[in-house]
Amino acid sequence: MTHTLLYNGLLFDGSGKPPRLGSLVLRDDRIEAVGPTGAMPTTLDGPVIDCMGLAIAPGFIDAHSHSDLQVLDGRKEKLHQGVTAEVVGNCGFSPYPTGAHAGDLREFANGILHGDETWGWESAAAYLAHLRASSKFASAYSLVGHGSLRVAVAGNRQGRLELSAMDKMEQTLSDALTDGAVGFSTGLMYAPGSSAPADELERLCSVVARHDRIYTTHMRDYGFHLLEAIDEQVDLARRSGCRLQISHLQAVGRANWHRNQLAIERVEAARESGVDIAFDCYPYVAGSTVLSQLLPQSALDGGAAGLLARLADPLQRKRLAEETIAGMAHEWTDIYISAVRSEANRIAVGRNLAELSIARGQEPIDVTFDLLIEERCAVNMLEFNQSEANLRATLSHPLAIVISDGFYVSGRPHPRLFGTFPELLGSVARDKQWMPMAEAIRKVTGFPADRFGMKDRGYLSAGRVADVTVFDPAQIRSRATYEDPEQQPQGIRMVIRAGQVLFAEAEAEAPAPVA
């Protein structure tokens, strides 16, 4: 048995209450005591860490991550931000079940999960066992992705599925929740999940309700039909009885900015009427996803091959161009290419579609289509979606959990992958003062722990798992920018997961030795 004493710091307990000076005693993998320094035992058999001038918080929880594969690889981007737990399997993408269509599953999910051509687990149980054996840093919790579930059962095809396929999806989801998945996610802007009829979603959400887990959704629309999309999800939660978490709530595109406040009011009204609803958001005005999101998702029936065949047909290409342009809430200058597959197109990374239009001497819509053809659909984008005022309203709302939504790409990732948590605490809470520091910490500790059923994490209280992040509240800041995202943040001093020190600052900022 080993004790660790974190001595005389500013304790943020994860509840949002103002901090108080005190100390924390860890014993093995648990928190043993927390309170005023004078009340703590003075003779302990382990290390004493002086936290004078530093904040002591529960380890941060990234409740919306796409690191399903990278948590197995020991990547350190989240650790360096103070993250000790992640929820993966978001927006309909989980790396299981493979079913009879493992190749289709990889093609469907690789734009978000950034995997190779070999990954895939037959069940939640198999994936979770691999997680337990291999995840070095964050403790990962997994949602069952609806898109993955559908591809496993029926391949990458759209529309209503036969009854036997529906039964199979229902049973597989139920098994996954029994085996330890924490909930179910949909990605209703991504084919083929986008084509699921209402009764399919209701049947699956009823399974979630029966297991008393959470349902998270990347909704059908965040632009012109944002409010209808919220209504659809609220209605689904009401009919099925499941808890509802709206993913990355925002109004996309200048033409829709006025809808942000209306969206928040819709959520509040639903909550008042008895739906257990909350939402998450990342602390950036830009978002990121696959380039094919600009197109109507019906064009992706049959996966990448289906889309490429349609684009090869002049009449269909013309029709898709008209539909894509009509559906856009963005300007072409708002959309930047963030990753491509080929070396030849690497020059497009970091440039927006208006710039590429000039460089290539083509209309922006033709640049979009031709990039998808040249890269066999493997193109990611970064889109400037929101206004600063809307971001503030959403982030600071009491129902908002703050998340990274980060994912890896072969190119230039969104800075949220490297900077979300220091950005929230440094820029959003301390510098802009959009919310008190204690409230910012609640949004990444106690609140997500409660929401996702992590009963022994999220708070500094005796008996909980010893996940602790120590940081300098005056120094903490993200250094990740849109131009240069892969930067380690400043001000994180120590990260402890289950009593183990996984990161200490010396490792962080030590300059490379000069040869």
Q: Which stretch binds Zn ion (CB under 5 A): 9-17, 167-175, 211-219, 418-426?
A: 211-219
Instruction: Report in angstroms how near the CB of residue 20 gets to Zn ion at its nearest.
Output: 37
The β-bridge partners of 22 are: 9
The contact mask relative to Zn ion for 233-252 (x = CB under 5 A, - = no) is --------------x-----
Q: How many residues bind Zn ion, per CB under 5 A?
A: 3
| Distance, first Cα to last Cα, the chain | 42
The nearer residue to Zn ion, 34 or 91, going by C-beta atoms, is 91
The nearer residue to Zn ion, 282 or 332, going by C-beta atoms, is 282
User: Is there binding between residue 173 and Zn ion (CB under 5 A)?
Assistant: no
Instruction: Report in angstroms how near the CB of residue 247 gets to Zn ion at its nearest.
Output: 5
Q: Is 158 helix (H, G, I), strand (E, B) or coil?
A: coil
The secondary structure of 432-498 as a DSSP string is S-SS-HHHHHHTTTHHHHHHTT-TT-SS--TTSB--EEEE-TTT-B----SSS-----B-EEEEEET
Select from 6, 54, 91, 409 the one that contacts Zn ion (CB under 5 A): 91
The nearer residue to Zn ion, 187 or 499, going by C-beta atoms, is 187
The contact mask relative to Zn ion for 36-75 (x = CB under 5 A, - = no) is ----------------------------------------
The residue type at 159: G
185 alpha-carbon distance from chain centroid: 11
Instruction: Report in angstroms how near the CB of residue 281 gets to Zn ion at its nearest.
Output: 11
Residue with structure tokens 């699921």? 196
The nearer residue to Zn ion, 226 or 476, going by C-beta atoms, is 226
Instruction: Report in angstroms how near the CB of residue 66 gets to Zn ion at its nearest.
Output: 8
For residue 101, which phi and psi values (nearest 5 degrees)?
-135, 50
Instruction: Report in angstroms how near the CB of residue 248 gets to Zn ion at its nearest.
Output: 6
Select from 80, 150, 218, 243 the one that contacts Zn ion (CB under 5 A): 218
How do 214-218 and 380-384 pair as beta strands?
unpaired
Give how far Cα 507 sits from Cα of 41, 80, 83, 317, Å. 30, 10, 16, 53
Q: Which stretch binds Zn ion (CB under 5 A): 195-203, 214-222, 225-233, 435-443?
A: 214-222
The nearer residue to Zn ion, 101 or 218, going by C-beta atoms, is 218
Instruction: Report in angstroms how near the CB of residue 91 gets to Zn ion at its nearest.
Output: 3
Tokens read off for 230: 């919220």
Give how far Cα 224 sits from Cα of 2, 174, 233, 256, 387, Å. 57, 34, 16, 6, 16
Q: Is 388 helix (H, G, I), strand (E, B) or coil?
A: helix
Q: Which stretch binds Zn ion (CB under 5 A): 85-93, 97-105, 191-199, 412-420?
A: 85-93
Instruction: Catalog residues that contact Zn ion under the rule CB under 5 A.
Output: 91, 218, 247
